[in-house]
Amino acid sequence: MSSGRPTPALVRAQHLARPRDEALDLAELGTARLTRHSFSRSFIRAAAGERWASVLERWDLDAAGRGTVIYRVELPGRTCRFVAFSDAIGEDDRDDRVVAERWDLAVALIEGEVDEARLADMRANVTRQEDGRACAGILVWGRANRSERFFDYAVERLAAGQQPEADRIGDAAYLMRSTAFYANGKFGLVDYDGIAEDHPLRLPYRAQMLAAWLTREVSIDLAEHCAAALDADAARFDEQWRRFFGLGNATGLGLVPYVIRHPRILDAWVALRELPLAHALEQELDERDEARLAELLDRARRRFAEQTTLVTAPYPTGPELAEGLEVVADLLERIRSGEQRAVPLGRVLHECAAGEGREVRQVVDSLLVELDAGLDADIERLLHCDEHLAVDLASSCGALRETIARDYAWVWRHDLAAPEATAMFWFYSANNMEPRRHRRGIDPGEDVQMGVGIPRMVQELDAALATVAAETALGDFLVAHPWQRAAVERVAGLADVIYGESHGNPLAGDYVPLDLQRFQLAVYGMDNFCPQSTDWVRVTLFGGAPRASDVAAGLDDDWLFAPKPLTVA
């Protein structure tokens, strides 16, 4: 199989990488953590490296925080505006679902100038979100709500001249939670292909990350504004808190069908994690690397140890992870003091962490990848995906069966004759405007179900191929079996793709959507996973990340697994 990797360094890393059965196991995907290559991290690195400046042009808010905010964002050779329409809605009106009609904040990232006519058009449409229509030049729009738990509390503390209390603010601190950041043609937004090749926002998800980061920026400034409206002598957040607050998010089932329907994107995202890890495990670490790794382990241990209130089931708790990290840190200290080992240090620690549990190992893997910037540019080249699935209709059915045997042996681990193996179906709810899953034969919607059951699809395709002669051309097979077109396109079109399929059965009654959700959220750069059920999870983005003034000054300091502020004065 061709690796399809765009640089020699990535081809070599792919050769060293773990078997894809291991990388694509749902338990492996579901315990992923953010790394230096996650979208939030690579965005901040690029923005700070080029000193992107976000300059406040308009801050027109009343005492409650209602009004308009505009930032001018200076990128290399480009100027964008980030426009936020702020409201203060009642808690009864706050709904994080797609069908919501009002939000505390509706935002847009747009290229060029924003005059009053353009602003009026945006105010009329951006604030309507799903029911609106984007004017020319808008790259991203999104929305967010104030946190019922944290926003008013933080405002009250500042108004009283005090900082938030670390124990009160929670283990996943944020002032506002986002519910969507749309791009790529939806609602008339600029299509991804319409972004020039040399544009600083050309990298997939970079525009969304910029919009999310500035939403977090507004949330912190908005809390200080509301506090000052209550008391002219109100405090401002100290620098520790201004950095620690992230942007909240709640994510549901929609992520699962997305990566199933975009297998080449899944391949790139799994490679984004697997290839740097393979590279890191082969590196010899010098004394400086060892010292930095010791500091990173201590920081991660402190961060997880303090997460005593974060609900993490079915995954380990923060203190449980901290205990495992302590074992790894102790081993590193012994090695630094002279204890012998026969293989590269990274591999020794990787294997030690695996003995403490898969999720401990995932944290340690992220720390090992953190040490080496050598693959940064190579990894970004992975993210530009051609999603076309090409099929040679002259090739034979026998050859396709060989591809199935090679690439899809895992689908026969699922016994589709067992009732629970196909107990569920997925569909797009017109009422809720988002994916849902229901129980087959009991709940409505089965007549419009999504094609997400890859094991069933492939098993049925293989059975159909077995009924014709091996030399039969695929074109002739499809004339007789037109309903197999999607399956043929998928299997044949992914023959050169290594990580195109997660090895799970979404139709099974015991399938846990959280696993694919957590994987994707880790790739985005989110953390503090707090499952609310098997179907949706709360997270934070940009917690501990540099603020706009930091980035403009070129500061991208070390913010992976940043612990809570130590002071509460």
Q: How far apart are CA 387 and CA 263, in angstroms?
A: 8
Under a CB-based contact definition with an 8 Å cutoff, are residues 115 and 75 in contact?
Answer: no
For residue 541, is it within any domain?
Answer: no
The SS3 call for residue 438 is strand
Q: Tell whether 150 and 192 lie within a shared domain.
A: yes
CA distances, 523 to each of 129, 209, 435 (Å): 25, 12, 21
For residue 149, is it within any domain?
Answer: yes
The region that residue 4 occupies, defined by phi over 0 for left and psi between -120 and 50 for alpha, beta otherwise, is left
Each of the 569 residues of the chain gets a pLDDT tens digit; together they read 556 799 999 999 999 999 999 999 999 999 999 999 999 999 999 999 999 999 999 999 999 999 999 999 999 999 999 999 999 998 877 877 666 779 999 999 999 999 999 999 999 999 999 899 999 999 999 999 999 889 999 999 999 999 999 888 878 889 999 988 999 998 899 999 899 999 999 999 999 999 999 999 999 999 999 999 999 999 999 999 999 999 999 888 888 999 999 999 999 999 999 999 999 999 999 999 999 999 999 999 999 999 998 999 999 999 999 999 999 999 999 999 988 887 899 999 999 999 999 999 999 999 999 999 999 999 999 999 999 999 999 999 999 999 999 999 999 999 999 999 999 999 988 877 788 899 999 998 898 999 999 999 999 999 999 999 999 999 999 999 999 999 999 999 999 999 999 999 999 999 999 999 999 999 999 999 999 988 889 999 999 999 999 999 999 878 999 888 875 44
For residue 97, is it within any domain?
Answer: yes
The CA R_g of the chain, rounded to the nearest whole Å, is: 25
Residue after which a domain boundary falls, among 314, 346, 371: 371
Q: Tell whether 210 and 338 lie within a shared domain.
A: no
Q: Tell whether 218 and 356 lie within a shared domain.
A: no
For residue 179, is it within any domain?
Answer: yes
Q: Tell whether 297 and 232 lie within a shared domain.
A: no
Q: Tell whether 46 and 177 lie within a shared domain.
A: yes
Q: Tell whether 57 and 196 lie within a shared domain.
A: yes
Residue after which a domain boundary falls, among 307, 342, 371: 371
For residue 238, is it within any domain?
Answer: yes
Q: Tell whether 248 and 314 lie within a shared domain.
A: no
Q: Which two tokens stand for residue 196?
A: 């020039």
Q: What pLDDT does 567 receive? A: 56
Q: What pLDDT does 343 receive? A: 83
Q: 0.75 exceeded by the pTM?
A: yes
Residue after which a domain boundary falls, among 310, 343, 371: 371
Sequence-ordered list of residues with C-beta below 8 angstroms from that of 366, at least 6 positions apart, any chain: 33, 34, 35, 560
Q: Tell whether 183 and 118 lie within a shared domain.
A: yes
Q: How buried is 125 (Cβ within 10 angstroms: 0-12 exposed, 13-18 middle, 19+ buried)?
A: buried
Q: What pLDDT does 7 receive? A: 95
For residue 273, is it within any domain?
Answer: no
For residue 410, is it within any domain?
Answer: no
Q: Tell whether 227 and 327 lie within a shared domain.
A: no
Which range of residues forms the domain containing residue 341?
284-371
Q: Tell whether 132 and 189 lie within a shared domain.
A: yes
Q: How far apart are CA 123 and CA 187, in angstroms?
A: 15
Q: Tell whether 114 and 237 lie within a shared domain.
A: yes
Q: Tell whether 249 and 289 lie within a shared domain.
A: no
Angle formed by the axes of helices 39-49 and 206-230, nearest 10°: 80
The total number of structural domains in the chain stands at 2
Looking at residue 39, what DSSP letter applies? H
In sign, the C-alpha dihedral spanning 482, 486, 491, 492 is: positive
Q: What pLDDT does 168 receive? A: 87
Q: How far apart are CA 175 and CA 155, in angstroms?
A: 10
For residue 208, is it within any domain?
Answer: yes
